[in-house]
Amino acid sequence: MTDAVAVVADESRVLAWDGPTRLFKWALVATVAWAWITDEMAWTSWHVWNGYTVLVLVVFRLLWGLFGGSTARFATFLRGPVATIRYGLALLRGREGHFLGHNPLGGWMVVMLIGLAAVMGLSGLFNADWPDRMIIEGPLSAKLGDAAVHLAHRIHSLGFKLLELAVLLHVVAVGFHSLIKKDRLVPAMVTGWKPEGVYTDRAPATPGSLGVALACLVAAVVIVWGGIALAR
């Protein structure tokens, strides 16, 4: 296990996640919830626009994972299978280290959530209600035959079920670490700060540039809308 590093910031707290990273987290929560609501209420236009928003958020997070703050970068929190298994075993024994950013299991959970959101957004572009295509039709579904649209519909439906399970698992994990391990994850997800302490990953976090965040957002919008326009 990595050597622990004592972290002190403002004598009582240390930065864990910067603003753009936290905004992404809560924006994704909102869009996933809104996707479920608009689907249940058959608000077709809202559901389609929500899908565009999900894709923009996913592309933004991929870019931010390369150019963002230290704890937002994939290279910082994604660890190999051996390190991840080692952390899981230490967690079972109650001897795991405390991480300022994502722990090894949490890091892969982030990847899973982003990946499932991407699957939902991409399959939604080609999705249409099967078999009549009357209620909802993705912007690129007209490019496909019935068999391909049916496949996109099945992927979209299955993807959302898997996303629901992943969200539930994430909530349980956050609750476990917050209530049992006394790690103030929820306040940190809101404020960005954790109490001073001993953390196994590099600290304190280096926040990403607001200018870079805006550039990543603009690039995400261009990539998503440009890709859809070219596909059309």
Angstrom distance (rounded) from CA 65 to CA 31: 20
User: 199 with 60: CB under 8 angstroms?
Assistant: no
Residues facing 195 on adjacent strands:
13
pLDDT tops 70 at residue 157 = yes
What confidence score (pLDDT) does residue 127 get?
Answer: 87
**pLDDT score at 9:** 40
Per-residue pLDDT for 60 more than 50?
Answer: yes
User: How many beta carbons lie within 10 A of that of residue 193, not counting itself?
Assistant: 19
| pLDDT average, residue stretch 165-172 | 93
Residue 131 has pLDDT above 60, yes or no: no
Nearest to 206 by CA among 60, 6, 72, 107: 72
Structure confidence at residue 125 (pLDDT): 92
Query: Helices 44-67 and 104-126 sit at what angle, rounded to 10 degrees?
Result: 140
> What confidence category does residue 133 fall into, taking pLDDT thresholds of 50, 70 and 90?
low
Task: Yes or no: say if 193 and 207 are a contact pair by the CB < 8 Å rule.
Answer: no
- The pLDDT score that the predictor gives to residue 6 is 37
Q: What is the pLDDT of residue 2?
A: 39
Between residues 108 and 98, the one the model is more confident about: 108
pLDDT, mean of residues 43-61:
93
pLDDT for 8 beyond 80: no
Please tell me which residue, 194 or 216, carries the higher pLDDT value.
216
User: For 5-231, CATH number?
Assistant: 1.20.950.20
| Structure confidence at residue 213 (pLDDT) | 97
Could you tell me if 117 and 135 are in contact, meaning their C-beta atoms sit under 8 angstroms apart?
no
Q: What angle do CA 188, 168, 22 make, to 5 degrees?
A: 25
More confident residue, 175 or 141: 175
Range from 49-53, 131-135, 222-226 carrying the lowest mean pLDDT:
131-135
Tell me which amino acid residue 102 is: H
C-alpha–C-alpha distance, residues 203 and 201, integer Å = 6
Are the C-beta atoms of 156 and 123 separated by less than 8 Å? Answer: yes
Query: What's the pTM?
Result: 0.88
User: By C-alpha distance, which of 114, 111, 88, 70 is closest to 176?
Assistant: 88
| Whole-number Å distance between alpha carbons of 85 and 63 | 27
Q: What is the pLDDT of residues 195-205, one digit of tens each?
A: 887 788 766 78
